[in-house]
Amino acid sequence: MSKIRSGPLYDFQMTSFRPAEAPAAPQLRERTDIPDRFKWNLSHIFHDWRGWQAAYDELDTKIAAYAALQGSLAKGSEQLLAAMKLSDDIGQLTYKVWYFASLKYDEDQRDNQVNARRQQVQILFAKASQASAWFNPELLQIPLPTVQRWMQENRELAVYRFAIEDLYRQQEHVLDEKGEHLLSLSSRFSSAPYDAYAALSTADLKHPTIKLSSGAETTLTYGQYRAILATDRNQADRAAAFSQYHKLYESNVNTYASLYHAVMQRDWFHSQARGYRTTLEAALHGNNIPPAVVENLIETTKAGTEPLRRYHRLRKRVLGLATYHTYDTTIPLVDFDRKYPYEDVLDWLPSSVSPLGEQYRTQLRDVLFGDWIDVYENPGKRSGAYSAPVYGVHPYMLLNYNDTLDAVFTLAHEMGHSMHTLLSNAHQPFVYSAYTIFVAEVPSTLSEMLFLEYMLGQATDDRERIVLLQHAIDGIVATFYTQVLFADYELQAHRLVEEGQPVTADTLADIYFNLLQAYHGDAMDYDAQSRVTWARIPHFYSTPYYVYQYATCFASSAQLMKQLTTGSDGERAAAIDRYLTLLKSGGSDHPMPLLQRAGVDLSKPETVRAVVDQLDGLVTKLEGAIQSLG
C-alpha cells in the first residue's frame, strides 16, 4: 500500500495475430522534420532538465524522510497520517521524475545521455523500495480495531480506509518474521524458470531459413513467422513456416516441459506456504477475485464456441481451401488498400464516442488536439503504442501511426486508457488514482468497439466493411477465446501439480491438443505439431494466471457496449452514468465491486455470453457483407 510506485504504463502490445489491412507506412522522417502538432510537449512536466534535477533531488530527500518515520506508527493517528501523506507526496513526484526521463528516452532510444538519467531514476526506485519496506509489517503490528478507531476520529486519515483495510485483509496469508524471511530468500530463484525459457527461446534459438514459393528466402524469426501467416496467400508457404517454426520447440519440448513444471511447482509451494487452498486462489487473492469468476469464464466460453467455429468455416469457404489449419486463421479475406490519414481520424474518433455524452466527447477532442500525443515514427523511437498516466499533469500517448486500419484502432484503444486516467485522476485522491489491469482494459476495449460501430456506419464499400468486420472478429478471437483457452490450459496443468500427478511433455501436449479440439471442433484440421504450441507461450512461464484478465475485460466491455447502445433512452442514460462512474472511481475499491456498480457481474454466465452473442452478430454481418460483394 505504501510502497512507492511509478504507475502503470498501458501498452497495446498484446500478442495476437493482426492481419495487414493496408499498404506501406508513410516515409520515415527525422524527428526535427515532423511538425510540432504531431509531437508531445514534455514541458508540461518540467520546462527543462534543470527542473527535472531539482525534482529528483527533492524526491531523494523525501525518500530519506520517509525512512526516518520507521517506528512511529504506533504513536497515534497523526503519525500514521503523516506517513500516508508523505507516501502520496513521494508517489506524485515519482510519476513526474520517472516519466519525464522515460518519455524523453522513448523519443530516441539511441540517446545514451537520456538513458543514463532514466537509469538514475531506476536506481532511486530501488532506494525508495528499501526505504518503505518497514511500513506494512509495522502497521500490521497495530490491531485493526485501533486503526479503525483512528480513522473514525480523523477525517483526513479516513480517506485511506480502503487501502489500509485491504492490507489487513491480506494479513491472514502473511507469515511470521522467520517465515517471511525464508520466502524472501526463496524468491531469488522464482524467476529462474522464465529466465531459462527466455534464454532457450531467444538467445540460444537458431532461427531457420525457409524458401518461399516466390523463390525468396527468409530467416524465420517470430516477427517473420507472423508476417507470413498474416500476408502470404500461398497456403504451402504458411504451412512450411508453421512446420519449421514449431520444430524449434519440438526439438526441446522436454526441456520446456521441465521448465513449465518448475513454474507450477514454485506456484504451488508459495500457495501452500501462505495457506491458500489452490494456486488459482493465491493468484486472485490480491484483487479479491473469487476463483468462481475464472471457472465461470472458462465454462461459459466453452459452451459458446459455435460462433467461433462458424467464423472459421466461413473463412475456409471464402479462402477456397480444401483443408483449414491454425496457420490459415489470420490471412485477410479480401485485399484492401485504403489509407487512413491521421488528420481524418481526428474527426472520426470524437464522433464515435457520442453514445457516451457530449462532455466525454469534448474532453476526448481536447486530448486529441492538445500536445499530449507523439504520433509518427522517427529513427530511434520506441516501437508500439502506450498511454502513460503522468499524475498531476495529464496522460501522454505514444503512437507509431502509419495510416493502417490497425493504427487507427490502436489510437482508439490508447485513447480509452487516456480518458480513464483523465477521469480517475480528476475524481480520486492520489492513493486511489491508479487502477488494476482487471479494469484497465475495459475502457480501451470499449473504445475500440464504439469506433468499429462508427466506421461500419460510415463504410460504403463492401470490401472495407469486410476488413472492418474481420478486424473486430479477429480481436475477439485473440483477446477473448484464445486467452480463455490459455487460462483453461493453465488451470488444468496447475491442478495436476496440486493433485500430485506427474507432468511430462506428453501430458502437457495432451491438455493443449484436447483444448484446441474442444474450442474449434470440426471447423479446423489439426496438425500434430499443434501439440507443442503451448511451449512457446511466454505468459505461461512469466506471469501465470494473468491472461484471463484480457478475457474478463473483453467480456465486461461487451456487456457495457450492449447496455450503452440498446434499450430505452432512460436505460442508456443510466448506463452512461454508471460507466463514467467506473472511470472516475480509479482504484478506490476492488475491481469486482467497481464493475458490478457499472452493471457488470463477472460471476454470472450472461456477462460472458455477451461476448458470444457479439461474435455471433459480427459473423452474421460478415456473411452478409461477403454475400453482397459476390
**Catalytically active residues, by annotation:** 414
Tell me phi and psi for residue 421, to 5 degrees. -60, -45
How is residue 219 annotated by DSSP? E
Pairing label, strands 217-219, 209-211: antiparallel
481 contacts 301 by C-beta, under 8 angstroms: yes
Asked whether 451 and 564 are in contact (CB, 8 A), the reply is: no
Using alpha carbons, select from 417, 549, 386, 412 the residue that is nearest to residue 480.
549
Order of strands across the sheet with 386-390? 10-11, 386-390, 394-401, 373-376
Of 28, 39, 41, 16, residue with least CA distance to 393: 41
Closest alpha carbon to 16 in 453, 473, 452, 376: 473
Here the contacts of 458-464 (C-beta below 8 Å, separation 24 or greater) are 458/348, 462/625, 462/628, 462/629, 463/334, 463/335, 463/336, 463/629, 464/336, 464/338
Distance CA 122, CA 79 (A): 29
Element counts in the chain: helices (H) and strands (E): 27, 6
Torsion sign over Cα 481, 486, 491, 495:
positive
Q: Are strands 394-401 and 373-376 parallel, antiparallel or unpaired?
A: parallel
* SS3 annotation, 10-56: EECCCCCCCCCCCCCCCCCCCHHHCCHHHCCCHHHCCCCHHHHHHHH
Three-state DSSP at 213 gives coil
CA within 13 Å, CB half, 373: 24
**Residue 554, number of CB atoms within 10 A of its CB:** 28
Instruction: Return the DSSP state at 384.
Output: S
Cell numbers 503512437 correspond to what residue? 399
Q: How far is CA 332 from the centre of its chain?
A: 25
Residue 477's contacts (CB-CB under 8 Å, 6 or more residues apart) are 308, 311, 329
559-590 burial code (b ≥16 CB/10 A, e <16): bbbbbbeeeeeeeeeebbebbbebbbbbbbbb
User: Are residues 611 and 455 in contact, defined by beta-carbon separation less than 8 angstroms?
Assistant: no
Sequence-ordered alpha helix ranges (H) in 320-372: 342-352, 358-369
Contact between residue 551 and residue 539 where contact means Cβ atoms under 8 Å apart:
no
* Residue in the block written with cell 502497521: 139
